Chains A and B, each alone.
Chain A
Amino acid sequence: MERRRFINFFLGGSFLATLAAFLYPVIKYVLPPKQAEALQKKVAAGKVGELAPNSAKIFKFGATPGILVNTQEGQLLAFSAVCTHLTCTVSFEASTGTLYCPCHNGRFDMTGNVVSGPPPRPIEAYAVEVVGEDIFVSRKA
């Protein structure tokens, strides 16, 4: 093949190949990823009726654990489950109706305030919203 034609083919061909190599990631990027969205403001923490009165469950709230409590009176409350002392995970103590941290005996009441023990700050309370069958938890405004 004549030199000039070879160079033109080489130029065109390598350009198209490079273009394809650039279009591949673009197309993969645009196609929806497995996890549909980024971190939700609102998290589905459970279903109505799942929790008996005076019991609780841990759920995932973004990158940290949260705790959903169904009080004795049937009120649904949600809190961060991260103890404000040294970040251990708290649990619900049905006998006292408090959030209890087993690491150093920290205790929080149902408003999130510290009742006793070393935690220096109240535990964060979340907003609970019931939509049909689902219980949604979100950060308070």
Chain B
Amino acid sequence: MPKTIFSIALLAALAFVPPGAAAQTNSCLECHKGLEAELQAPAANFAQDVHQQAGLTCADCHGGNPALADEDKAKDKTFKGAPKRAQIPELCASCHGDAAYMRKFNPRLRVDQLSQYQTSQHGKLLKKGDVKVAVCTDCHGVHGIQTAKFPKSPTFPWNVPQTCGRCHADADYMKAYGIPTDQAAQYKESVHAEALFEKKDMSAPVCNSCHGNHGAFPPEVKSIGSVCRQCHPSTGDLFAKSPHKKAFDDLGQSECEACHGNHRIVRPTTAMLGTDDKAVCVQCHDKGSKGYQAAAELKTLIDGFEVQIEKERATLDLAEKKGVETSDAAFKLQDVNTVLVSAKNLVHGLAVDEIRTKLAEGDQTLNDVEKAGAAALDEARFRRKGLIIATALLALFGIALFLKIRSMHKPA
């Protein structure tokens, strides 16, 4: 009788064991957690992995049976071990290229990464047997993979230059390929890097914005302009309508890159315009040519306007330092600055008359600012004059008081 009761009790107890408790033993993780260095890393990072959060385990990529505690038994027939580098893209694509499978997890994810990869320089070289090139895990990490929306992910915008730079900035590693290794360093000096790292503007371009990510390949000369146009469409349109377009096409010259560079794209200044050594125009236009004259004219127009703006800004700053409130005039100056930015953009169209008209729009406002600045400085002078008068009167009064006090202390 006691035995029966005991068995029933035991069975009942087992019935209450949460289902899947057996399935929760992941012997891979358990075992690897106790190992060291490289062998421990997969177990340590896997908890944050987006695949783990989707319910996948080690076996889904590596095979084997994680339910079995014994190492030899766990590494059964299906066990694949660590894949070789050349096998990695196809391993990842075995799920990520299967639309029906991916739909179960995130219907919005693309499933063409492998076919894109195969068109990339990395994919092409890998096919030829070069395992030094980047495969999926080099950019996405492995075992602790997170989406590009997470700031710690190597594919998060501001980490991308470092991720690509791990190989592309390593001169020794890249020696055999004969391509430059200064792109990341150059990019870091650019205005795009400033927007990304300092202004935290996540829409600023990084390596994959212009080169693509899975299908990474340097843009062809002909297509550089199209790539830049994605964010700078008005500039691109102006250029396309200008005489430069045909000239550049005939010469086989890249559009934007010829004057602005590719990685080290800095904030353009009027120093780029004109006919002196630093200007880009004289790279093609010789002295005496129509282009040379146009360059000189554009420089005079834009420089002149910019110099005036700087002059007014200095006046307003001086007035502010002297204590006079100038925010109304400063606001107008902002407007004028917008005109200048538009005019600089119009330079790409090379229509001198259009630029002249645009600048004329700002002239009226600039005049107003000049008047306001002069008035502010006058006000500063007025205040100081007023102070001198008031102080003089107070001093006189003070002297009068002093004399009065002294006279009262003297005996009558």
* A residues in contact (CB < 8 Å) with B: 3-4, 7-8, 10-11, 13-15, 17-18, 21-22, 25, 63-65, 85-86, 88-89, 102-105, 117-120
Contacts and interface: CB of A to CB of B under 8 A. Distances in A.
Given A14-B393, A17-B393, A7 B230 contact: no
A44 B401 CA distance: 56
A118 B231 CA distance: 8
Chief secondary structure at chain B's binding surface: helix
Interface in B304-328: 327-328
A10 to B, nearest CB: 5
Given A11-B401, A18-B393, 19 more contacts: A3-B407, A7-B407, A10-B400, A11-B400, A11-B404, A13-B400, A14-B396, A14-B397, A17-B396, A17-B397, A18-B394, A18-B397, A63-B331, A65-B335, A88-B341, A102-B345, A104-B203, A104-B231, A105-B232
A118 B203 contact: yes
19 contacts: A7-B403, A10-B400, A11-B400, A11-B403, A14-B397, A14-B399, A14-B400, A17-B396, A18-B390, A18-B393, A18-B394, A89-B338, A102-B233, A102-B345, A103-B341, A104-B231, A117-B231, A118-B204, A120-B203
B130 interface: no
B377 to A, nearest CB: 19
B389 interface: yes
A63 B327 CA distance: 9
Contacts of A7: 400, 403-404, 407
A15 B328 CA distance: 39
B286 interface: no
Contacts of A3: 407
A21 B394 CA distance: 9
B232 to A, nearest CB: 7
Interface in B224-276: 230-234
Interface residues of B, number: 29
B393 A105 contact: no
B338 A88 contact: yes
Contacts of B335: 65
A103 to B, nearest CB: 8
A11 B341 CA distance: 63
Interface string B319-357: 000000001100100010010010001000000000000
A118 B201 contact: yes
Contacts of B234: 102
Nearest to A62: B331
A8 B400 CA distance: 8
Contacts of A88: 338, 341
A10 B403 contact: yes
A22 B341 CA distance: 48
Nearest to B328: A63
A21 B393 contact: yes
A28 to B, nearest CB: 11
A11 B396 CA distance: 9
B202 interface: yes
A105 B230 contact: yes
Contacts of A8: 404
A104 B331 CA distance: 22
B153 to A, nearest CB: 19
